[in-house]
Structure 1
Amino acid sequence: MNILILGNAKDAHAAHIYNTLTQAGATVNYLDTSLFPKQLGISWQPQKQLGYLTLPTGEELNIQDIHSVYWRNFSGVYIPEFKDSYQKKLAYNDSMSTLRTFMQACPAKWVNSWEAFQFHKEKPLQLSKAKQIGTAIPATLISNNPKQVIEFCQTYKKAIFKPVYGGAHTQFITEAHLEPQRLNITLSLSPVTIQEYIPGTNIRSYVIADSVYSAEIRSSSVDFREDLDAELIPIELPESIQKQSLAIAKAFMLKWTAIDWRVKPNGEYVFLEANPSPMFVHFERQTGFPITEKLVNLLMN
C-alpha cells in the first residue's frame, strides 16, 4: 500500500504519521513539493488518464497505485533565480499548473484535498458557508473602508482583528488602532477581518471521518495558540453540536479537521474556524483521544 505525506521529515507531525504508518505496514514516502521540478518528477497523459510521480530516490509511482495522501504542509514549488524575470514567471506557472493537475487528477484518497485547501484559504467564505448550514458565527466585517471599520467597532463593547487570509494571531482592537491616520494607512495596504469578541470558553473539536473528539481549552489569552500553558479538558459535545461538527466537515470538503468554537456563558456554541491540516500530537497526549489511530485507519482503509 503506497501512501504519500505532503510535507517532509522536518515537520514533527508529518514524521509522526510517517512512522506510525510504516509500523502499520504501509509503504510511505514524503511528497515535498518544494523539490519540484528539480528533484521531483511529474508526468501526465490526459488522453490516457495516466500519470507518474518520480521521487527524488528515482522510484517511480503510477498515480493509480497511490492509495492515499496525508496533507500536512504544502510548500508550493521552487524555481531558482533567472536572469530573465519573465522566464522565471513562465517556469513557475508551468510548474504550479503541473503540480495542481497532479494533485487533482490523482485518484488517491486525499486527507485533505486540493479543493478543501483552496476553500480554507478564503476564510470569509468559510464563515459564510458555516452560517448557511445553520451554525452560529461571530458578527464579522471584512473591509478596507475606515468608516465602516470604525462604525463596526463602535457597535460592540469589544472587538478583535486578524488577517483575512490567516497567518497571525488574534488581537484586541484598541483606540490606538482606530486612530484615523494609522487606520487609513493600515487599510490602504490590505483589508482586515474584524469580529465581535465572544466572551466564554474555547472548545476544539477534531473530526475524523464520522468521529468527533473535543476538549475545553482553558487559557487567559485572547488567542489560545499563544498560551503554552493552556489546559486541555476532554468534554462530550451536545449532540446538536456534534452533528454540526460533522456537517461543517462535509460542507468544507474535509475528511479530517479541527474546529474551534467559543461557548458563550449562556451555552451557545459559536463557530470560529475549521483547519484542514491541524496540529494534534500535543492535544492527543493531553486528552488521550485516539487521533493518530483514527487518522492511520482513515489513510489505510
Structure 2
Amino acid sequence: MILVAGGIADKVTELVCARLDACGFAYRLLDLGRYPSDHGMVVHWNGGGPEGALRGPGWELDLAEISGAYVRFLGPEGRVLPTDLPGATATALRGEADAALMALIEDLPCPVVNRLGGGMSNNSKPYQALLLARAGFRVPPTLVTTDPDAARAFHAEHGAVIYKSISGVRSIVRRLGPEQLGRIDLLRHGPAQFQAFVPGQDVRVHTVGERLFATRVRSEATDYRYASRDGLAVSMEPAELPASVAAACRRIARELDLLHAGIDLRETPEGEWVCFEVNPCPGFLFYERQTGQPISLALAELLHGGAAAAREQAGAAAMP
C-alpha cells in the first residue's frame, strides 16, 4: 500500500493519485488540507523503527503495509483548521500534529519521496551551491551581501547580473538593471543573492530514483516560469544530457537523499553546463504536460516497487 501525504487540491498531488489509480496501485491519501481533522495516528518507536497505524476517513493503514510514501507538504494557505476549537488552540494542534507526522515520515523504512532532511539544503541557496560544486557541477559566480557598494562592484565586474532569494522561498529571478540599481541602498535592510548572468538554454532535469527526465526549455525570459507575465513564450522538448552531467545529477540526488528532485541547469552557447539549484519537491506537472515525459508514471512505479526500490537505491548510494 502506498501512502500519499498531500493536499488533493494541489495539482501535483492530484496527478500522482491519478497515476496510481491508472496503474492500479493501491494507495491511501492523507489529505494535508484537512489534517489533523478526520485523521489520526497511533505510533510508537522501538529499536527497529516506528510501529502503529495511520487513520483517515473510512480507512486505517498499518505502517508495516506501506511500500512507499509520496509527501508534498502544503503551506498555511492550503490548510483548513479544525472549526470546533478556538483559533490559537487549533493552530497549536496542527503544529503538534505536523511535527508528529514529520517525525514518522523521516523514520519510515520504505522509500519516501522525499524525507524532509534531504531537502533542507534548499533552505540556503549559498550552502546548496557548495554541495553542487562538490558534486562536480559548475555554479555561477555568486555574491550574498547587505553592502550596496559590494553589489555595485559585483555588477561592474560581471556586467550582466541576476538577483534572487537566498532561502527556499520562491522568488522571481530578475536582471539587475537601472531600476534596481537606483534603489540598491535599500540592500542594507536585508541580504540578497546576486549571480553572474549565464547565457544559454535552460534544462530542467527530474530524477526519479536512478531515472532521469531532461527537458530543454526555450524562452527569452530571464525566469521562464513567469514568462507569460512579460508577454514571452515558452516551449519545451525532451533533451539528452552528456554522460558526465547525467552522472552529476544522479550523484547530487543520492548525496542529498532525494528519490525525486528537480535540478535546474543551463547549457551555454559554448556547450558548458551550469547548475543553479536542486528543488526537493518539484512541481513536475508543468513539464510533463508540455513534453509527455512519463515522470508521474516513473514515480508511481518507484513507490509501488517498495522494498525492491529501496534495495536499488541503497546499492546506488554505495556507488562511487
- TM-score in terms of structure 2 length: 0.82
1:157 aligns with 159
Alpha-carbon contact 1:33-1:40 (below 8 Å) kept: no
Q: Distance in 1 between matches of 2:113 and 2:279?
A: 12
Partner in structure 2 of residue 146 of structure 1: 148
Q: Is the 1:161–1:192 contact (alpha carbons within 8 Å) kept by the matching residues of 2?
A: yes
**Which amino acid is 2:269 matched to?**
P
Q: Is the Cα contact below 8 Å between 1:42 and 1:102 reproduced in 2?
A: no
- Check the 8 A contact 1:6/1:74 in 2, yes or no: no
Name the SS of the counterpart of 1:177 in structure 2. helix
Deviation larger for 11-20 or 267-276: 11-20
Match of 2:269 among 256, 262, 265: 265
Asked if the contact 2:35/2:94 (under 8 Å) is kept, the reply is: no
Q: Which moved more, 1:6-15 or 1:255-264?
A: 6-15
Conserved? CA contact 2:137–2:248, under 8 Å: yes
Which deviates more, 125-134 or 63-72?
63-72
Structure 2 distance, partners of 1:113, 1:137, is 25
Query: For 1:35, what is the secondary structure of its paired residue?
Result: coil
User: Which of 83, 101, 104 in structure 2 is aligned with 1:102?
Assistant: 104
Q: Is the 8 A contact 2:7 2:74 kept in 1?
A: no
How far has the Cα of 1:129 moved from its partner? 0.2
In the other structure, the counterpart of 2:279 is: 275
CA–CA distance in structure 2, aligned partners of residues 285 and 100 of structure 1: 30
Kindly state the Cα deviation for residue 110 of structure 1 after the two structures are TM-superposed. Answer: 0.6
How much is the aligned-residue C-alpha RMSD, in angstroms? Answer: 2.5
Partner secondary structure for residue 134 of structure 1: coil
- Counterpart of 1:169 in structure 2 is 172
| Paired position in structure 1 for 2:310 | none
Match of 2:308 in 1: none
SS of residue paired to 1:300: helix
CA 78–84 in structure 1, closer or farther in 2 if over 3 Å, else same: closer
Change (3 A) 1:141 1:32: farther
Structure 1 unaligned segments of length 5 or more: list them.
none
Identical-residue share of aligned pairs (%): 25
Q: Give the distance between the partners of 1:14 and 1:171, measured in 2 at CA.
A: 29
Q: Deviations over 1:182-205 (max 9, x none)?
A: 3343441x3211111001111122
Q: How many residues align?
A: 295
Is the Cα–Cα contact under 8 Å of residues 127 and 137 in structure 1 kept in the other structure?
yes
Unpaired runs of 5+ residues, structure 2, are 306-320
Aligned to 2:39: 40
- What's the counterpart of residue 230 of structure 1? 234
CA-CA distance at 1:261 after TM superposition: 0.9
Aligned-partner Cα distance in 2 for 1:226–1:272:
17
138 and 84 in structure 1: CA distance in 2 versus 1, 3 angstrom threshold: same
Name the structure 2 match of 1:185: 186
